[in-house]
Chains A and B, each alone.
Chain A
Amino acid sequence: MPDGVTGTGIGAAVKRVEDQRFLTGRGNYTDDINRPGQTYAYVLRSPHAHATIKSIDTAAASEASGVVAVFTGADMEVGGLPCGWLIHNEDGSPMHEPPHPPLAVGKVRHVGDQVAVVIAESLAEAKNAAELIKVDYGVLPAVIDMKTAEAGGTLVHDDIGTNKCYDWGIGDKDAVDAALAASAHVTEIDIVNNRLIPNAMEPRAAVADFNGANSEYTLYTTSQNPHVIRLLMGAFVLSLPEHKLRVIAPDVGGGFGSKIFLYAEETIITWASARIGRPIKWTADRSEAFITDAHGRDHVTHAKLGIDDNGKFTALKVETYANMGAYLSTFASSVPTYLYATLLAGVYTTPVIYANVKAIFTNTVPVDAYRGAGRPEAAYLLERIVDRAARETGVDQLEIRRHNMIQPDAFPYQTPVALAYDSGNYQATLDSALSLGDVSGYPARKAGSATKGLKRGIGYSTYIEACGIAPSAVAGALGARAGLYESAEVRVHPTGSVTVFTGSHSHGQGHETTFAQIVSDQLGIAMENIEINHGDTGNVQFGMGTYGSRSLAVGGSALVKATGKIIAKASKIAAHIMEASADDIEFKDGNFTVAGTDKSMAFGEIALAAYVPHNFPHDELEPGLDETAFYDPANFTFPGGTHICEVEVDPATGVVKVDNFTAVDDIGRVINPMIVEGQVHGGVAQGIGQALLEGCSYDSDGQLLTGSYMDYTMPRADNLPNFKVATQSTLCTHNVLGVKGVGEVGAIGSPPAVINAIVDALSDFGVKDISMPATSAKVWQAIQDARG
């Protein structure tokens, strides 16, 4: 807690408001919701990665016990699931956007693709009936590997004549080629950013309830952004007007990006609810989640970094293949482009950068944003190639970074890949991390490990990322089909308590606490008199939701803007009642005071005067005290920092133990340090998971080999250490709170630190590279191969 911070205001480690209900089993998650007369949906899915659908016979299923209806793609004449970001090829032509029908039409394109839906009185009856559906598939060869897919042959989408969704570039290619040719040294690297399966602990679920009396649809769904779901589903797929479609995302059990997107199942049951005139519930089991939740990452990259005689980076050239999976998920196209290649300057002064990205369709689950979304891929690439460059040129790992870092006095800093960093101090976070991580004690720890026969290594990552996306006009110019502002309404009640309606959505981040802290701070009222309402399009004005660490930077800024309007209006009311000029009204600690006098009115008194306007400036103001603000950010925010990982490797078994992990992050002003630390812990755990444990694996036929918790290694408590976490902040210069965002930093900064540490530990064996996930088998094999 900063000096002097007490109570519940900004900077206080307030215990979370939402915890009482979660700890007592009174959370209200989507699968906890039941509607009168509810039926249950079960989705029949493709067992094949690629096949034509010759015929579907649903006759027996339709007659089965308890079945209410069976639908296939032929029944559901609606639009396709849309993509929200149009990318253009380097030649200026638009990307390919093949149709994505909610229920497959003519062809299935990945294991898990939706083929039919059975709706029955019970889930068991729906499942039993689904077994009676006869689907005649014409099995086709599957294309799984991106480079094979690029070559053509087997086409995921026949009509577009290619498996390449787009071929995009950013930066000055000719300048980069020339600079690389002139460089004293060029370091090259091949990097695979492993495909991950998000695995929020709450499986996706939805309850759709059509009310025939007024033709209104209500959809309860596991979403990070219910307004976006309403817009996409209503306007693009089902042709439902927004005022007849209410989307409620109640308590949501984790998202990590996977619950941003519009999915087939929620769309199908919303449509079907009107067809059968009854509510329908669908809940994914975990096996379904593995083959239907949008996956993350999955980049294959070759990169070259030029270095001059003085050890300065001269140029960076990056060629990346990005897997889109079988269909374009909602924001899939933006992840390997504007959320990735624009971050390739990192914290360094590399003068010229060029990146080419080829997005490829394959017969796998669609890939989209997962915690960090593009930025972890950029940070991993950069921090690995910098590490390798240091080893190749014989320069210290820290020295090569310091020597090339953007200096603290260089802000605002324009990178060669579009972004303009507003603030930062990378040297300061590095110094703090070296201290917190006791790096000076590392040699002794390494010697201690050696006495146990273990190889100890240390790895660094001085990363940057971009959050708070984005100025809508800029995003629109780059192809975004949505605005990226956020909204807040501050509704002051007559007795002075406040309900806030925010377009942000909390699914673990603790907004009910932090947003209330902000309002408490701004309006000088107690937290228990503030309620944060979110996640219901029936209550909340249009909002864009929560992803990309944007809630505080964009949603919090909207909230402060709304409270500012409240204070401005209340000051005028106070001035009228106290017979003073509005310019003389001072507002502090919840009291309006006439400057230089002892005349004062409490916030609650003004609220009452606004709603009982007997003594009120009617010629100037309308009664009431209820203000809405929309905030469109002026720029991205740029959190960054230093992560340091120490590992101990057992050369006999290849087992890697993370023994000392330090993260010092610059996230701007901290509203609640307790919640900030928790966000970093969780992000680092996911980053260590990616580096050591998690890897989605398909066989050549497109069958998912890692389709359950028996096969896909989730980080568990005994895989992880305690973390050393701190913040070392510069303020964001363009939002009123000075905040940058914290949700993703842990997952972005940590993977390269872990892998660099393993490479360091194995350097004695001559091992130069290890790919993620660095499983014990892989590490052991690398040691054997290096030993020859």
Chain B
Amino acid sequence: MPTVSMTVNGKPVSGEVEARTLLVQFLRDQLRLTGTHVGCDTSQCGACVVHVDGESAKSCTMLALQVDGAAITTIEGLANGETLHPMQEAFRNNHGLQCGFCTPGMVMSAIDLVKKNPKASETEIREWLEGNICRCTGYHNIVKSIQEAAGNMGG
């Protein structure tokens, strides 16, 4: 089997994978980074969003071998010890999560949004989230969380 090497949450990792192994499988099954979730099989729900070289990407729709040499950030790599990233803190502060299953993907996606569009309007936030499905919150508090985080991230 081929070997893949990448940096995950700042640490170099490598492992043998089948050619068909998805990035999310590599993260969850081999690295045991189970914060990244799988909620669908059609690249729709966004529970698996991670950052690949700083850009949000659905890890269920990439092969592990595709990201050979890349820098990956997962939900586990955001906080500094117990100090949350501003986006995580805003989700906590605004009740932007309930069951928590879509949350890692939402947070990773939202960080990329604020990076690309620090002054995003409510409409722009809602349109950006088109690729992340939440069944619990009705999105109201997720939008509120992202708006608050955008302010705190210097947006």
**Interface residue ranges, A against B (CB under 8 Å):** 15-16, 18-27, 29, 31-32, 34, 124, 199-203, 251-254, 256, 285-287, 507-510, 674-675, 677-678, 681-686, 708-710, 714-718, 720, 722-723, 746
Besides A254-B98, A285-B41, 5 other CB < 8 A contacts? A20-B92, A251-B99, A714-B133, A717-B126, A717-B129
Structural contact, A254 and B33, CB atoms closer than 8 A: no
In the bound complex, residues from chain A placing their C-beta under 8 Å from that of B138 are 681-686, 715, 720, 723, 746
A683 to B122, CA, bound (A): 21
Query: With the chains together, A199 CA to B133 CA distance in Å?
Result: 10
Q: Which residue of B lies closest to A23 (CB)?
A: B88
Residues in B with CB closer than 8 Å to A199 are: 135
27 interchain pairs (CB within 8 A)? A19-B97, A20-B82, A23-B84, A24-B79, A25-B75, A29-B37, A29-B101, A32-B34, A34-B32, A124-B18, A202-B39, A203-B39, A253-B100, A253-B101, A285-B41, A508-B100, A708-B40, A709-B40, A710-B42, A717-B129, A717-B139, A717-B142, A718-B126, A720-B126, A720-B138, A722-B122, A746-B138
Do residues B92 and A200 form an inter-chain contact, with CB atoms below 8 A?
no
B36 touches A678 (CB 8 A): no
Among the interface residues B38, B99, B136, B143, which one has the most CB atoms of the partner chain A within 10 A? B99
Tell me how far the C-beta of B37 lies from the nearest C-beta in chain A, rounded to whole angstroms: 7
* Chain B nearest CB, measured from A421 CB (Å): 28
CB distance from B77 to the nearest CB of A (A): 9
> Is B116 interfacial (CB 8 A cutoff)?
no
Chain B nearest Cβ from A606, distance in angstroms: 33
For chain B, residues 17 to 52, give those with C-beta under 8 angstroms from any C-beta of chain A. Answer: 18, 20, 28, 32-42, 44-45, 47
Q: How far is the CB of B24 from chain A (nearest CB, A)?
A: 11
Shortest distance between the CB of A328 and any CB in chain B (Å): 26
* B32, B139, B143 pick with most chain A CB within 10 angstroms: B139
In the complex, are the beta carbons of A25 and B76 less than 8 A apart?
yes
What is the chain B residue whose CB lies nearest that of A746?
B138
Contact B42 A286 (CB under 8 A): yes
Chain B residues touching A, range? 35 or more
Interface centre among B125, B134, B140, B142 (most CB of A within 10 A): B140
- Asked if residues B135 and A201 are in contact (CB atoms below 8 Å), the reply is yes
Q: Indicate whether A716 sits within 8 Å of B133 (C-beta atoms), given known contacts A24-B75, A709-B42, A723-B140.
A: yes
Q: Are B92 and A201 in contact (CB under 8 A)?
A: no
By beta carbon, the residue of chain B nearest A723 is B140
CB distance from B71 to the nearest CB of A (A): 17
For residue A429, give the distance in angstroms from its CB to the closest CB of chain B: 20
Is the beta-carbon distance between B100 and A15 smaller than 8 angstroms?
A: no
Neighbouring A residues of B79 by C-beta, 8 Å:
23-24
Contact across chains for B101 and A710 when beta carbons are under 8 A apart: no
Let me know if B93 and A15 touch, CB within 8 A: yes
**B107 at the A interface (CB under 8 A):** yes
* Contacting residues, chain B, for A683 (C-beta < 8 A): 138
Inter-chain contacts of A508 with B (CB < 8 A): 98-100, 136
Instruction: Look across to chain A and name the residue whose beta carbon is closest to the beta carbon of B21.
Output: A124
Encode contact with A along B125-155: 1 for CB under 8 Å, 0 otherwise. 1110110111111111111000000000000
CA distance A200 to B98 in the complex (A): 12
Which one of A31, A254, A717, A720 has the highest number of Cβ atoms from chain B below 10 Å of its Cβ?
A717
Whether the pair A708, B42 counts as a contact (CB closer than 8 A) is yes
Most B-side CB within 10 Å, residue of A24, A29, A201:
A201
- Nearest 3 CB-CB pairs, A to B? A25-B35, A253-B101, A22-B100
**A13 nearest CB across to chain B (Å):** 9
Q: What residues of A have a CB within 8 angstroms of the CB of B101 in the complex?
A: 27, 29, 200-202, 253-254
Q: How far is the CA of A22 from the CA of B122 in the complex (A)?
A: 25
* Cross-chain contact A682 with B135 (CB below 8 angstroms): yes
For A510, the chain B residues whose CB sits under 8 A away are: 98
Q: How far is the CA of A683 from the CA of B138 in the complex (A)?
A: 7
B120 to chain A, nearest CB (A): 12
Measured CA separation A29–B95 after assembly (Å): 20
* Contact residues in B for A19 (Cβ distance below 8 Å): 91-92, 97, 100
Does A24 contact B88, Cβ atoms closer than 8 Å?
Answer: yes
**Chain A residues whose C-beta falls within 8 Å of the C-beta of B44 in the assembled complex:** 708-710, 714
Whether A24 pairs with B35 at a CB distance below 8 angstroms is yes
From the candidates B100, B132, B137, name the one contacting A251 in the complex (CB within 8 A).
B100
Q: How far is the CA of A715 from the CA of B93 in the complex (A)?
A: 24
Say whether B135 contacts A686, CB under 8 Å: yes
CA distance A616 to B84 in the complex (A): 47
Candidates B18, B32, B37, B95; contact of A674 at CB < 8 Å:
B95
Complexed CA–CA distance, A124 and B142 (Å): 36
Q: Do A22 and B103 touch across chains, with their CB atoms under 8 A apart?
A: yes
Residues in A neighbouring B84, C-beta threshold 8 A: 20, 23-24
Complex interface: chain B residues within 8 A of A31 (CB): 34, 38
Contacts of B41 in A (CB 8 A): 285-287, 708
The CA of A454 and the CA of B82, in the complex, are separated in Å by: 50
Question: Could you tell me the distance in whole angstroms from the C-beta of A95 to the nearest C-beta in chain B?
Answer: 32
The answer to whether the Cβ of B78 comes within 8 Å of any Cβ in the partner chain is: yes
A720 lies within 8 A of B95 (CB)? no
Establish whether residues B143 and A15, one from each chain, have CB atoms under 8 Å apart when the complex forms: no
B102 located at the interface, meaning its Cβ lies under 8 Å from any Cβ of chain A in the complex: yes
Beyond A25-B75, A27-B35, whether A709 also contacts B97 by CB under 8 A is no
Report the separation of the CA atoms of residues A253 and B122 in the bound assembly, to the nearest whole angstrom.
26
Contact A16 B95 (CB under 8 A): yes
In the assembled complex, which residues on chain A have CB atoms less than 8 Å from the CB atom of B88? 23-24
